[in-house]
Structure 1
Amino acid sequence: MCWESAKTRHRVCLDDRPSLCLVGGCQHPPLACQGWWRGMHWSHHLSSHARHWGAAGREGGRRCSARHGAMAGPAPAQVGFRKGPGTLLSRLASRSQLELVLCAVAVSLALLLSVAVVTLAIQYRRDPSHSTCLTDACVRVASKILEALDTEMDPCQDFYQYSCGGWIKRNPLPNGRSKWSTFNSIWDQNQAIMKHLLENATFNSSSEAERKTQRYYLSCLKEQRIEELGSQPLMELIDKIGGWNITGSWNQTSFMEVLKSVSGTYRATPFFTVYVGADSKSSNSNIIQVDQSGLFLPSRDYYLNKTANERVRLGAGHAANSNRGNPWQWGASSTGTQLASPSCRLAAHPREVGAMISTEAGLGVPQVLAAYLDYMVELGTLLGGTPEPTRLQMQQVLDFETQLANITVPQAERRDDEKIYHKMSIAELQLLAPAIDWLDYLSYALAPLELADTEPVVVYGDTYLQQVSDLINDTDRSILNNYLIWNLVQKTASSLDQRFETAQERLLETLYGTRKSCTPRWQTCISNTDDTLGFALGSLFVKATFDRDSKAIAEEMISEIRAAFEVSLDQLDWMDEKTRQAAKEKADAIYDMIGFPDFILDNKELDDVYDGYEVSEDSFFQNMLNFYNFSAKVMADQLRKPPNRDQWSMTPQTVNAYYLPTKNGIVFPAGILQAPFYARNHPKALNFGGIGVVMGHELTHAFDDQGREYDKEGNLRPWWQNSSLEAFKNRTACMTEQYGRYTVHSEKVNGRQTLGENIADNGGLKAAYNAYKSWLQKNGEEKRLPALGLTNHQLFFVGFAQVWCSVRTPESSHEGLVTDPHSPDKYRVIGTLSNSRDFVEHFGCPLGSPMNPGKHCEVW
């Protein structure tokens, strides 16, 4: 169970359930849904499709201006027939010019449709083998694919534009979103399903965990109660842990006590983060782990790198998409939920974003930091601070965070786990970073466990901890107090009243280039519930939606892709036999988990997981605090137990997938096992190009620049021969250089930061395509989809590319470039396919064309 995040609108109709139709997030009567689902486009949202700003983002954005009762905006037009006497000519003459135009358009479309149907019928009759698939499913998916294409673009010039140009035109950024893609869309659909389940008037679960889930969700919906309480819950909490220099008196001798409360009890992460997890060098045991942390803005670059930030100019043109976190995920944000804001303005097409604000000066560091400082000051004054003194003290906190940013190691420099892993005792940690009483702190955070100074810990980044200790010793205690309490404030403020959300809105506009949200409260509350009771919510979701046969089908596909990957291993001319054999053994040992963990369907086991977590329907803020305290206890409980191989770090409804190196395991939640990634009635070319590439991607993570350091048992140890290791590094250097040449708004992609994901994208595509070819050899050619003019081999590559169709604001693109371990979506397509000889062959791209540059970077 993953209790803490691992350093991680279009219309929706629900078929086969009580009718529910969502338009722009607001509910419409059931009749609005009739007949609509069948024509819905698969032009929707992964991840990197990140949940921006973690929990803070998921807790933000609580109100729709229409209060999710009726859709905001103009009333629908009334259309009817005129009555009364008159000749046909007189009645026609009385019609408006617009009506005549609309009639002409309708007639033209009807004629075109008739011609298309006749053409397909003739083609079908002339083809004795009936090689075109004309089932309803084939016609619908062909229509969606064709709609997304830009057939004016030469696929050998820009395959992303060819595959996604039509989708981009038809998908303006929804209100309040800084990014929109397939993953966002699927997550919105999943949220609508969960809303229906939790708001069902007949909800009567026999599981206490599921009942807690509904109580938590309903407490989040009680906006009137939240408004009545205002800032009082947080002010009382601050007083309870010793006060805040910004708002009143504080205990000047209580640094360690405040640190223990803020970090240990309420799970904020000032200075550093502490967690319990599998020991990378002894994966059958858990160990205390300490890593760098402490910044509020998305990355250190926002504090330090003025040049890069100032390049985020809002010029014309749509934005191409773009730890120790979880670098193994298929996409970085599982669900795509973002910080939301209550203010409203018209949605902008991605190309219009630049036109609307291109006259502004740009988003240099001073602008971002000024907006952040204003946000800090506003929250401080809402909690009782006086404006001018609050600004002065918050500036000191911001300066302190900037010093932390300066010693924070960039993610691109932390990709060698062997180098950053440092195992030591608590006593040795005390010598390394003496500003913290580590035995006192860890004993408190992991209570009721008894710890001694001989207890082992793993430190990731010993130099950082040494420097942060020096920084603490050199900083005035009042600034440290303000910084610690600020960490608590920013973690909890989004659970307070409207004023705090309005303050957040202004910062969001600067950071992500999006202002209008109108995110309905229910959507925010579903995301919060997923974060808190995600597996209990997943139990409801899986029982209502998941086709159990999908699990067996997915397992078969994984076996086929694994076999194809191992065949490729045999063909590598740069790998020695000993390393090759070990690699095969590791591939064979990869443990796959599909759909959901079994315990969620056993009421007793599910209830045991959440036993001890108290949930009230009356206090959302207290429910949140209770969860922080509960998750701290769960973390402590794990230390003396071996890691659970069947433990998941993603909830079943998540639209993502991941690889975990210490388990040598891959996970594919139920949330991603749906179209456009997978559908039972889709051609195999699309399924292999969709979920098949996802599976190949996660499998290849076991052999990327970080995953390759772990053996088949999940232990960090050297198992490569030196000759193969050098050859591997030479090949990955090619990929680092290739992706480092790509730019978004004149800002380069970081080829080092994205290396692992780029290796996985390339290896995953190759494994999935080879698996598809093997399937064809066993089963014969599939029928083609109608009207596309594509072979099934070409369809595989188009299906892969269209998964990554997306739009985002320039500000969001910049944020992705500096924080995301994945390349922008455009280059996940172009970079991968320009390295694929199979793609070049099937699209006939001439040597020297952009999609066939001649030099192909290939690792696996």
Structure 2
Amino acid sequence: PLGRRTQLEVVLAGLLLASLLALFGCAITLGVRYNRDPARSICLTEACVTVASKIVEALDRSADPCQDFYQYACGGWVRKNPLPDGRSRWSTFNSIWDQNQAVLKHLLGNEAERKTQSYYLSCLNEQRIEELGAQPLIDLIAKIGGWNITESWDKDNFLDVLKIVSGPYRAQPFFTVGVSVDPKNSNSNVIQVDQSGLFLPSRDYYLNKTNEKVLKAYLDYMVELGLLLGGDKNSTRVQMQQILDFETALANITVPQDERRDEEKLYHKITIADLQVLAPAVEWLDYLNFVLPPLELNDTEPVVVYAKEYLQQVSDLINKTDHSLLNNYMIWNLVQKGASSLDQRFENAQDKLLESLYGTKKSCTPRWQTCIGNTDDTLGFALGALFVKSTFDKQSKEIAEGMINEIRTAFKEALDDLNWMDEQTRQAAKDKADAIYDMIGFPDFILDSKELDDVYEGYEVTEDNFFQNMINFYNFSARVMADQLRKPPNRDQWSMTPPTVNAYYMPTKNGIVFPAGILQAPFYAQHHPKALNFGGIGVVMGHELTHAFDDQALI
């Protein structure tokens, strides 16, 4: 019996061992297959490890994600990125723009297009700016006809001053005038007129009693600039208070932004003759012929008006306001535009106002960084050419285009799951999504030296007068704007420069634009895993695509 049991046990033990070996083999096979499955693989490249570490650093593990997911996901980043002095906000967009500026500083320190480099150097030349002081702006005011703040003024030249400050110098008292694509006819440009005239960010700053501290700071700023330009202390404060009261009256008739989202209600296409009847305080044909040279307009020229009631009311306000106050207000608009190009005293005055407005301390931004921003605002496509040649991989255009197409496909598939949408609307939405025009990286013309030179032909720049460079640019941009009226819209025209860290949707062209500046880590990098790029720039792409279907971009 013992021998038989031992033999049986041996047999059972053998079977058990065979079973274990079989299970072990299966486990190895499954493990190999698991590891070979792309969906289960772990990316351990240098790029993946670097990005993963940044994601972990951004977390705040002390927060409960079920209670405050934002704090859990972003708390670490917020803690390690305190708000810089002089900034009212800070994000990854700002951080990348700082990186882009550093790249551009290096490029402008070497060979660069002459105008771009000259403009940048004129901004850097603080010694020359301090030497000139307030004189460039004082001389400009005298050339226009004077200002009661700084000298005795008694003239009846309202229309002449309005034409000059809002034409060649591009200030915008009372209303804005521009040339752009007709929202209801994308094949033509048209003159467009809208409300304007407030210096503070919104009408609420003037009308909300809780903003009295801001209004006091604004008045102090106005007075300080008036004194810097040669005004008498007592009379300057009195007259600046009158200007502030006039701006408050403008704020009262300004339509709030939340009531301006429906463009169908805002859009009014009329003639210059109709505009004259609507707002008779301005001689519109004379005015528009002056600010849009060398066009020869007549009173049948179409104009798109976006603030019909406002223009009626501002016309009444102009007619019942003393000409001295109107002149003071118009020159104040010019002073606001010119002050940023003057010496340190003007910058210090602005810093105090910004601290009251946004709670920000005096800016510690290096001068070179300020000048890169100014150069981008003025000669952004010439600057962008340098940036693209230095940093942007052309293959990124193709990759970004492919990502947009995948997101577009996913969007159209999601439309099929919307039970509330009828078939006709669904198909119209798909057709519009297919028709969206993608503009990636940069416009092609910036890499063609002749085309780029043609864009800035007629703009004069010197290295020793920053203020005059700014004035010359206002003159130049006014001529460029007027030149667009008799030309068909350029579908490839960009509103953002290549180094910009942002993106946008164009309703009149049904296009989306992603400048080279945003196609960088952490939003995008060629060596990043596809999922990471979709989680970065892909989110921005999806955001811009859906603007084609929001309440301001109808199907």
Q: Same fold (TM over 0.5)?
A: yes
Q: Which residue of 2 aligns with 1:222?
A: 125
Q: Which residue of 1 aligns with 2:334?
A: 488
C-alpha distance in 2 between matches for 1:582 and 1:133: 41
Counterpart code for 1:297: L
Deviation at 1:178, TM superposition (A): 2.0
**Residue 509 of structure 1 contacts residue 515 of structure 1 at CA under 8 Å; is this kept in 2?**
yes
1:194 and 2:97 aligned: no
Q: Which residue of 2 aligns with 1:238?
A: 141
Deviation at 1:152, TM superposition (A): 2.8
Counterpart code for 1:543: K
1:667 and 2:510 aligned: no
Choose from 118, 137, 140 the match for 2:50. 140
Q: Deviations over 1:13-48 (max 9, x none)?
A: xxxxxxxxxxxxxxxxxxxxxxxxxxxxxxxxxxxx
Q: Deviations over 1:309-357 (max 9, x none)?
A: xxxxxxxxxxxxxxxxxxxxxxxxxxxxxxxxxxxxxxxxxxxxxxxxx
1:560 and 2:419 aligned: no
**Residue 190 of structure 1 contacts residue 671 of structure 1 at CA under 8 Å; is this kept in 2?**
yes
Choose from 683, 687, 690 the match for 2:529. 683
Q: Which residue of 1 aligns with 2:22?
A: none
1:636 and 2:491 aligned: no
Question: 1:153-164 maps to which residues of 2 (within 5 A)?
Answer: 153-164=63-74
**Residue 216 of structure 1 contacts residue 529 of structure 1 at CA under 8 Å; is this kept in 2?**
yes
C-alpha distance in 2 between matches for 1:128 and 1:217: 55
CA RMSD of aligned residues (A): 1.4
C-alpha distance in 1 between matches for 2:99 and 2:34: 39
Question: 1:538-687 maps to which residues of 2 (within 5 A)?
Answer: 538-687=384-533
Question: 1:59-70 maps to which residues of 2 (within 5 A)?
Answer: none
Q: Deviations over 1:586-643 (max 9, x none)?
A: 1111000000000000000000000000011111111100000000000000000000
C-alpha distance in 2 between matches for 1:379 and 1:284: 45
Deviation at 1:125, TM superposition (A): 11
Choose from 264, 267, 272 the match for 2:175. 272
Q: Deviations over 1:485-529 (max 9, x none)?
A: 000001111111111111112111101111232211101110000
C-alpha distance in 1 between matches for 2:153 and 2:467: 23
* Counterpart secondary structure, 1:571: coil
Q: Which residue of 2 aligns with 1:248?
A: 151
* Counterpart secondary structure, 2:416: helix
Q: Which residue of 2 aligns with 1:517?
A: 363
* Counterpart secondary structure, 1:451: coil
* Counterpart secondary structure, 1:368: helix
* Counterpart secondary structure, 2:304: strand
C-alpha distance in 2 between matches for 1:230 and 1:516: 21
* Counterpart secondary structure, 1:677: coil
C-alpha distance in 1 between matches for 2:218 and 2:233: 15
**Residue 284 of structure 1 contacts residue 642 of structure 1 at CA under 8 Å; is this kept in 2?**
yes
Q: Which residue of 2 aligns with 1:149?
A: 59
Unpaired runs of 5+ residues, structure 1, are 1-123, 307-363, 712-860
Deviates further, 169-178 or 622-631 = 169-178
Q: Which residue of 2 aligns with 1:371?
A: 217
Counterpart code for 2:464: D
C-alpha distance in 2 between matches for 1:689 and 1:530: 29
Counterpart code for 1:289: Q
Question: 1:177-188 maps to which residues of 2 (within 5 A)?
Answer: 177-188=87-98
* Counterpart secondary structure, 1:674: coil
Deviation at 1:136, TM superposition (A): 1.3
Q: Which residue of 2 aligns with 1:401?
A: 247
Counterpart code for 2:471: L
**Residue 351 of structure 2 contacts residue 363 of structure 2 at CA under 8 Å; is this kept in 1?**
no
C-alpha distance in 1 between matches for 2:171 and 2:154: 20
Deviation at 1:126, TM superposition (A): 13
Deviation at 1:157, TM superposition (A): 2.3
**Residue 242 of structure 1 contacts residue 251 of structure 1 at CA under 8 Å; is this kept in 2?**
no
**Residue 129 of structure 2 contacts residue 342 of structure 2 at CA under 8 Å; is this kept in 1?**
yes
Deviation at 1:264, TM superposition (A): 0.7
* Counterpart secondary structure, 2:261: coil
* Counterpart secondary structure, 2:397: helix
Choose from 542, 551, 555 the match for 1:705. 551
C-alpha distance in 2 between matches for 1:612 and 1:492: 21
1:507 and 2:417 aligned: no
Choose from 189, 205, 229 the match for 1:302. 205
C-alpha distance in 2 between matches for 1:554 and 1:132: 24
C-alpha distance in 1 between matches for 2:63 and 2:361: 33
Q: Which residue of 2 aligns with 1:445?
A: 291
* Counterpart secondary structure, 1:289: strand
**CA distance 1:477–1:510, change in 2 (3 Å):** same
C-alpha distance in 2 between matches for 1:138 and 1:495: 45
**Residue 243 of structure 1 contacts residue 251 of structure 1 at CA under 8 Å; is this kept in 2?**
no
Choose from 460, 470, 473 the match for 2:319. 473
**Residue 371 of structure 1 contacts residue 507 of structure 1 at CA under 8 Å; is this kept in 2?**
yes
**Residue 58 of structure 2 contacts residue 76 of structure 2 at CA under 8 Å; is this kept in 1?**
yes
Q: Which residue of 2 aligns with 1:463?
A: 309
* Counterpart secondary structure, 1:495: coil
* Counterpart secondary structure, 2:424: helix
Deviation at 1:175, TM superposition (A): 2.6
C-alpha distance in 2 between matches for 1:628 and 1:594: 28
* Counterpart secondary structure, 2:85: coil
Name whichever structure is richer in helix by fraction. Answer: 2
* Counterpart secondary structure, 1:611: coil
**Residue 591 of structure 1 contacts residue 666 of structure 1 at CA under 8 Å; is this kept in 2?**
yes
Counterpart code for 1:469: S
**Residue 352 of structure 2 contacts residue 362 of structure 2 at CA under 8 Å; is this kept in 1?**
no
* Percent identity between the two aligned chains: 78
Q: Which residue of 2 aligns with 1:731?
A: none
* Counterpart secondary structure, 2:90: strand
**Residue 190 of structure 2 contacts residue 304 of structure 2 at CA under 8 Å; is this kept in 1?**
yes
* Counterpart secondary structure, 1:502: helix
C-alpha distance in 1 between matches for 2:533 and 2:43: 16
Q: Which residue of 2 aligns with 1:257?
A: 160
C-alpha distance in 2 between matches for 1:390 and 1:471: 23
**CA distance 1:499–1:125, change in 2 (3 Å):** farther
Q: Which residue of 2 aligns with 1:95?
A: none
C-alpha distance in 2 between matches for 1:217 and 1:653: 16
Q: Deviations over 1:787-834 (max 9, x none)?
A: xxxxxxxxxxxxxxxxxxxxxxxxxxxxxxxxxxxxxxxxxxxxxxxx
Unpaired runs of 5+ residues, structure 2, are 1-30
**Residue 368 of structure 1 contacts residue 510 of structure 1 at CA under 8 Å; is this kept in 2?**
yes
Deviation at 1:251, TM superposition (A): 4.8
1:167 and 2:70 aligned: no
Counterpart code for 1:151: R
C-alpha distance in 1 between matches for 2:506 and 2:240: 39
Q: Deviations over 1:714-755 (max 9, x none)?
A: xxxxxxxxxxxxxxxxxxxxxxxxxxxxxxxxxxxxxxxxxx
**Residue 65 of structure 2 contacts residue 72 of structure 2 at CA under 8 Å; is this kept in 1?**
yes
C-alpha distance in 1 between matches for 2:175 and 2:290: 16
Deviation at 1:546, TM superposition (A): 0.1
Deviation at 1:385, TM superposition (A): 0.6
